[in-house]
Structure 1
Amino acid sequence: VYKATYHGATVAVKQVKKSSKNRLASRQSFWAELNVAQLQHDNVVRVVAASTCAPASENSLGTIIMEYVGNITLHHVIYCTRDAWRQEEDDEGGCGRKALSMEETVCYSCDIMTGLAFLHSQDIVHLDLKPANVFITEQGVCKIGDFGCSQKLEKGLSQSPHVCQQGGTYTHRAPE
């Protein structure tokens, strides 16, 4: 993912590569990312534009241009892996950074739940929700991103318990 400028706005540009191992999965991932293309919500990373045009020499299925939300994820915050995240002398978290306050924890949780509720109201299931796919903006707002495993449910099937294939990141799957 690259930081760029598109029509005067700072954006994130994601070039979706063809997988030599599984071309079908690569195509499905590209189109799954576009499930949210028409949606706008404060807690969902917005897709600005997309293109399937790529030079033949490129190993690319297409390009997705998204709003730029920064490069800090909830994973960085929880596991203290990003130097830019809140350097503090008060080492409550044991990693040279200040631990999340209860207020921040509640706000982040509410942002994520609000984003998920919106996606579900649009019949979209993320299928790979994990800390690394939740971005935290400079304003402290959580935005759900990376929809490569997502599915748009068919109308009338959204209440069925078996409409989704198992997907996502193995270490972050729900136990059921």
Structure 2
Amino acid sequence: MPSPIPVTRLLPKDIYPSLDIGICSSPLTKHGSTLQVPIQRLHGRAASRPWSSVIHWKELRSAHPVGSGGFGSVYRAEYFGQTVALKKVKKCTKNKLASRQSFWAELNAAHLRHKNIVRVIAATTCVPEDFGDESSIGTILMEFVGIKNLQQIIYGHAEPLREDRWLRYSTDIIHGLRFLHSHSVVHLDIKPANLLVSSEDICKIADFGSSLKLDSGCEVSTCSPHLSHIGGTYTHRAPELLRGEGVSPKADIFSFGITLWQLITREQPYTGERQHVLYAVVAHNLRPSIQTNPVFESQLGRPCKALLSRCWSADCSCRPTALELLPHLEQLRSQI
């Protein structure tokens, strides 16, 4: 199924010409312990791509459900003998356009490789009848990180979340965001549920269904009204996005600030009805409580309080970049 919006809006030029073209049929090959894509011939020229636009369904085995969300379901499967995550993006009956845009947005970071970003292996809109259904838009194969995320670690475990651990997770997130932003990709849905934790206790950014690829050299993008998938989760959404203003990497920094607060306090950021929270965030500068929370009065808590205030500033120009945040987090880690 073709993209309902220009693919150039979502994907780099060295990727989008091959997405729906049968000539890209080279299989993934095993090399060491990872799956890699060999050099392929695209439109008469050689191009090395880190992912494939073709899934070899005969090599796919044993799909078991591990989770689901608004636009799809995730399964654990075997592909060429290795464990992978298979994501089926489904049609949303209430907003079919948004679900199609979500599929293409998932591929905004497909060409990127970083230890703190979930790696895409293959993706296609061509799904055989044996593997698909009428509600499926497309399928994405990704590295299998595990089934544990920060949401579960923060709220689903009774054991203490030590300072060294949540600081390490925070640093992982910012390393991933720095890399994404350096390649003009804005995630737009940073929250604990979208931050997976591997068996090696490494935090990885996942779920790019709300992401946006900024134009080269452009720090702020004015969203098209047709990009209905843009938004993310309201509790973590930056106020400028709630006002319908331009998208920039600073929106991810705001979301990171809310996530960092959750890691520190292990509390829910807001109470009350959704519309009341949205209005208060924009009109009254509502933020999670730090002034009356005793956890922010410790030796480590005071600099964290100052850092949070900068990350969720109402003026996005006052928020630090991911690159600027890294030395602050490293300094906090050195104090433990």
TM-score for the superposition, normalised by structure 1: 0.85
Q: CA deviation at 1:111?
A: 0.2
User: CA contact under 8 A between 1:15 and 1:62: conserved in structure 2?
Assistant: yes
Structure 2: state its 5+ residue gaps: 1-73, 225-229, 240-313, 315-336
Q: CA deviation at 1:24?
A: 1.0
SS of the residue aligned with 2:106? helix
Aligned to 1:171: 235
For residues 121-145 of structure 1, give each alpha carbon's deviation from its aligned partner in whole angstroms, at most 9, with x where no partner exists.
Answer: 0100000000000001110000000
- Aligned match for 1:44, one of 117, 123, 138: 117
| Alpha-carbon distance in structure 1 between the residues aligned to 2:164 and 2:214 | 34
| Alpha-carbon distance in structure 2 between the residues aligned to 1:163 and 1:116 | 20
- Please tell me whether Structure 1 or Structure 2 has the larger radius of gyration of its CA atoms: 2
| Alpha-carbon distance in structure 1 between the residues aligned to 2:236 and 2:214 | 22
User: CA contact under 8 A between 1:124 and 1:151: conserved in structure 2?
Assistant: yes
Structure 1: state its 5+ residue gaps: 86-96
Q: Are 2:152 and 1:73 aligned?
A: no
- Aligned match for 1:145, one of 199, 206, 209: 206
Fraction of identical pairs, as percent: 55
User: CA contact under 8 A between 1:42 and 1:143: conserved in structure 2?
Assistant: yes
Aligned to 1:106: 167
SS of the residue aligned with 2:173? helix
User: CA contact under 8 A between 1:134 and 1:142: conserved in structure 2?
Assistant: yes
Which letter maps to 1:23?
A: K
Q: Are 2:108 and 1:35 aligned?
A: yes
> With CA pairs under 8 Å and 6+ residues apart, which has the higher RCO, 1 or 2?
1
Aligned to 2:320: none
How many correspondences in the alignment? 159
Larger helix fraction of residues: 2
Aligned to 2:136: 60
User: CA contact under 8 A between 1:70 and 1:135: conserved in structure 2?
Assistant: yes
Q: Assess, with a 3 A threshold, how the Cα gap between structure 1 residues 147 and 112 changes in structure 2: closer, same or farther.
A: same
User: CA contact under 8 A between 1:35 and 1:147: conserved in structure 2?
Assistant: yes
SS of the residue aligned with 1:28? helix
| Alpha-carbon distance in structure 2 between the residues aligned to 1:39 and 1:8 | 23
Q: RMSD of the TM alignment (CA)?
A: 1.6
For residues 1-51 of structure 1, give each alpha carbon's deviation from its aligned partner in whole angstroms, at most 9, with x where no partner exists.
Answer: 000011121000000001122111111100000111111100000001011
User: CA contact under 8 A between 1:157 and 1:163: conserved in structure 2?
Assistant: no
Q: Counterparts of 1:126-165 in structure 2 under 5 Å?
A: 126-158=187-219, 160=220, 163-164=222-223
| Alpha-carbon distance in structure 1 between the residues aligned to 2:111 and 2:81 | 21
SS of the residue aligned with 1:168? coil
Aligned to 1:16: 89
